[in-house]
Structure 1
Amino acid sequence: MRLAQTGKTTKLLCLVLTGVLGLWSANAFAQTAQPTPTDLRLVPQSETQIKLSFAPIVKNVAPAVVNVYASRKVVQRQRVSPFFDDPFFRRFFGQPGGGGFDRPRERVESSLGSGVIISQDGTVITNHHVIKDADEVRVALSDRREFDAEIVLLDERTDLAVLKIKGEGPFDHTTFAESDSLEVGDIVLAIGNPFGVGQTVTQGIVSATARTQVGVTDFQFFIQTDAAINPGNSGGALVDMEGKLVGINTAIFSRSGGSNGIGFAIPAHMARFVARAADQGGKVQRPWLGATVQLVNSEIAEALSLDRPRGVLVTAVFDGSPAQDAGLKVSDLVVAIGGKEVTDPNSFGYRFATKMIGDDTEFKIIRDGKEIALPISLVPAPETVPRDTRELVEFSPFEGATVMNLSPAVSTEIGLEGVFEGVVITAVRRGSTANQVGLRPGDVVRGINEQVVESTRMLETVTKTPPRVWRLEIERDGKVSQLILR
């Protein structure tokens, strides 16, 4: 009898333990079934895991990636032989007379790239260089439907553009990820249309998250990946393992034109900033700081008693600027903006330029060995003088150049740091005199024949009464050069 009771007790104890273990297992399973983002970064531990596929991610994202076709009409001059003036030759060749002069000939240039739909109403983000100077833009969806597209915004400085599909939605779209959460080693997928062969998916890892010195945009801050990116991928999507957009594929490092495993994407944070600008009137407005900075090298770090080079050093603060109002001073060391570390002038420019007008941000600085938090107001740069844009047509070294009066607003738009006065060249027509003498957009005209050029009106007046000898003072990349022309 005791044995029977003992058996029952043992059996009951086993049932209780089984129930407890079952609850514990269910708990563990529930926790495993809902992993945190950190838990998602796991090395495959079994054959089953090795056989896992990216297909579900691709099926969700691929419909939001489109092909972008851009075309423009180009007028070329065609040389006609003087023999065609002869009626004998016209009889056989059917060509009108030309007298040996150039004749206009129109042809169509086209380019192919990729784009990403970022909202259900058909808003598409792509690269500026894909649709630059385009007269007509069409997009082709993954289901083979094609639509005309309207250019909403072009921003050459970031190499980004925003399009709007002319068609009835809703359209499949993807959402932005927080690109600042990316880490080196994270798996990413690149989706686009390389070489025009059709939509293609490649896989790789994040090789670097803040790569500078790429030379593609004014804001040198890129995600580097070894996912194969080829011509035609420009404007396509770089997505994470949640299927969210972390970057816009933009460029490759290649000597042959093909992928060498070094590709670059514009971070989603910058793409989101440009997309918001398109929603708010179609113009990119960047905040104005009114200060210049420089890289901190080992010598400067030693002079500042730093254990290593970090941050950027403030070299100038301009009167009436937000930097001056906030109390920023020359020789301050800026180490973070909005809680994000800055390591060089490029990362500094990126972190500040992607802040929205109307908000505040916080600069973390080191002054006299102490960390200080400075709130900076994010306001647009003022236009202190009218732009008075003029295209110079009189015969002179400036014939074919478009010029504009400088102000903090113009300087910020075209990327001239610390140059707020004078006349700047904003465009140079191909084949013009200005083009032939070597003038470029971004050149600042400082003087002509020892006379300071103060406005576009003054420059145009000078070109109408040309001297025998032109002595020009041109500022380029912070250096003033003299050019003498007869």
Structure 2
Amino acid sequence: MKVPRLLRFLLSYTAIGLLVAAVIIGLRPDLVGMQTGNNAAPNDRNGNGAAAPATQTLAPPIQPRTGPVSYADAVEQAQPAVVNIYTAKTVQEAPHPLFDDPFFRRFFGDVAPHRPRERTQTSLGSGVIFSEQGYVITNNHVIEDADQIQVLLADGREALASVVGRDPETDLAVLRIELDRLPVIQLADDRALRVGDVVLAIGNPFGVGQTVTMGIVSATGRDQLGLTTFENFIQTDAAINPGNSGGALINAEGRLVGINTAIFSRTGGHQGIGFAIPAHLAVSVLQSIVEEGRVVRGWIGVQAQSLTPMLAESFDLAAAQGIVISGVLRGGPADRAGLRPGDIITHIEGEPAADAQALLERVTDKRPGSELRLDLLRDGEARTVTVAVGERPAQDERQPAPRQPRLP
């Protein structure tokens, strides 16, 4: 029986089409919605009738926040309130010891410069205008021992500044200038800062004029740097150089988050590690100096150290958490409350005692005359002591001796 020519033609092309389809299904099953092997659907059953293991699904990608192409608006808002500070002081230079030698003076007499000579020493820094009344915050080390302080505004105006008060323990100082229509910095909640947030540093590095640098928040709550008594620094990689001290660290909205203070450097220049004092601490110091004439802090008169694993073992304690009282000032608030060296503070106002820095912060935040409740262990016995907080005595101003950070 002969097959008609038309039917043979159709059968041959149908066979070719089936062959091509089989090849495509074998090579790219995903094109026809099929899955094989480990990509089997979760509701497939294996030979035992149990559900086949589901394949791991990819999480949806995190949508990055879109940042501004330019930070010019933020800078334009904050820059007018950042000032350049120039200081001058008179220093005496001792003459060369040779000029005091009697034999040498026989030939030169009183013409020889055997008396101390005076010269003017200048330095520079930055500051931030905090109020329309002319209060400016800067670093204490910027204006320390200065005989004259001159402030230059971004709009070109100049004014001599007077010192309202200084706080060496935070390295902050408050100045005042007498000018009208002063621009004022806007504040942000620096406690909401997160690592990775964009920040900008505004100041007068090397005296070249007002300069803006950009970076991110590298860390928060940095302490134990050896710079000041009270350390809770914001760390940033925004370039901070000599002359930036006292300037503004702002967020991407142009609001103040910190006062630029120090750099970590082995060369004296920028190496990507700078530190700023949080804005809320600067505001606290400003308010206290303006209202009280000085910074008022609580004090109980103890020396303390954090409990280390070695100390915990010596006290036969299971966990190394707490604060060891290493010294008590005779006649001080803690002494009158009955605290003794060797006491281990476990809780401060009902909260676990983390370390000695936490005790310092809690005590200094207390107003003199208030009470502080401490839970402690003495010879393994739990006790509760209530201390009447006194006022922290003023300390002589001293230049801190940092291990590595520098004061720009």
Q: Same fold (TM over 0.5)?
A: yes
Q: 2:173 aligns with which of 161, 165, 168?
A: 161
Instruction: Name the CA distance, whole Å, in 1 between partners of 2:292 and 2:221.
Output: 30
Q: Residues 138 and 181 of structure 1: is their aligned pair in 2 closer, same or farther, counting only changes over 3 Å?
A: same
Percent of aligned pairs sharing the same letter: 44
Aligned to 2:149: 137
Cα deviation code 1:282-304 (max 9, x no counterpart): 22232221222112112234556
Aligned to 1:219: 230
Residue 66 (structure 1) aligned with residue 83 (structure 2): yes
- 1:321: how far off? 3.8
Q: 1:124 aligns with which of 136, 150, 158?
A: 136
Instruction: Name the CA distance, whole Å, in 2 between partners of 1:185 and 1:338.
Output: 33
Counterpart residue type for residue 68 of structure 1: I
Aligned to 2:242: 231
Q: Residues 363 and 64 of structure 1: is their aligned pair in 2 closer, same or farther, counting only changes over 3 Å?
A: farther
- 1:328: how far off? 5.5
Aligned to 2:42: none
Instruction: Name the CA distance, whole Å, in 2 between partners of 1:347 and 1:357.
Output: 16
Q: Residues 202 and 291 of structure 1: is their aligned pair in 2 closer, same or farther, counting only changes over 3 Å?
A: same
Aligned to 1:268: 279
- 1:246: how far off? 2.5
Say which SS state the counterpart of residue 285 (structure 2) adopts. Answer: helix
Task: List runs of 5+ in structure 2 lacking aligned partners.
Answer: 1-61, 401-408
RMSD after superposition: 3.7
Instruction: Name the CA distance, whole Å, in 1 between partners of 2:104 and 2:336.
Output: 73
Instruction: Name the CA distance, whole Å, in 1 between partners of 2:347 and 2:202.
Output: 35
Task: List runs of 5+ in structure 1 lacking aligned partners.
Answer: 1-42, 87-95, 382-408, 415-425, 428-439, 442-486
Alignment map for 1:259-298 (pairs within 5 Å)? 259-298=270-309
Aligned to 2:64: 45
Alignment map for 1:425-444 (pairs within 5 Å)? none
Q: Residues 77 and 290 of structure 1: is their aligned pair in 2 closer, same or farther, counting only changes over 3 Å?
A: closer
CA contact (8 A) 1:223 1:264 kept: yes
Instruction: Name the CA distance, whole Å, in 2 between partners of 1:182 and 1:137.
Output: 33
Q: Residues 83 and 323 of structure 1: is their aligned pair in 2 closer, same or farther, counting only changes over 3 Å?
A: closer
Counterpart residue type for residue 278 of structure 2: P
Say which SS state the counterpart of residue 352 (structure 1) adopts. Answer: helix
Cα deviation code 1:155-184 (max 9, x no counterpart): 22322111001223x411124444444333
Q: Residues 98 and 321 of structure 1: is their aligned pair in 2 closer, same or farther, counting only changes over 3 Å?
A: closer
Instruction: Name the CA distance, whole Å, in 1 between partners of 2:389 and 2:188.
Output: 24
Say which SS state the counterpart of residue 121 (structure 1) adopts. Answer: coil
- 1:145: how far off? 1.2
Counterpart residue type for residue 413 of structure 1: Q
Counterpart residue type for residue 192 of structure 1: G
- 1:205: how far off? 2.3
Aligned to 2:218: 207
Aligned to 2:259: 248
Q: Residues 304 and 148 of structure 1: is their aligned pair in 2 closer, same or farther, counting only changes over 3 Å?
A: farther
Q: Residues 359 and 185 of structure 1: is their aligned pair in 2 closer, same or farther, counting only changes over 3 Å?
A: farther
Cα deviation code 1:85-124 (max 9, x no counterpart): 99xxxxxxxxx97343514433221111000111111100
Instruction: Name the CA distance, whole Å, in 2 between partners of 1:133 and 1:237.
Output: 23
CA contact (8 A) 1:221 1:347 kept: no
Q: Residues 336 and 238 of structure 1: is their aligned pair in 2 closer, same or farther, counting only changes over 3 Å?
A: farther
- 1:84: how far off? 11
Higher RCO, 1 vs 2 (CA within 8 Å, ≥6 residues apart)? 2
- 1:55: how far off? 2.4
CA contact (8 A) 2:297 2:368 kept: no
Q: Residues 50 and 117 of structure 1: is their aligned pair in 2 closer, same or farther, counting only changes over 3 Å?
A: closer
Aligned to 1:345: 356
Instruction: Name the CA distance, whole Å, in 2 between partners of 1:152 and 1:182.
Output: 30
Aligned to 2:73: 56
Counterpart residue type for residue 174 of structure 2: V
- 1:224: how far off? 1.6
Residue 413 (structure 1) aligned with residue 395 (structure 2): yes
Structure 1, 216-225 or 150-159: larger mean CA deviation: 216-225
Q: Residues 372 and 119 of structure 1: is their aligned pair in 2 closer, same or farther, counting only changes over 3 Å?
A: farther
- Larger CA Rg, structure 1 vs 2: 2
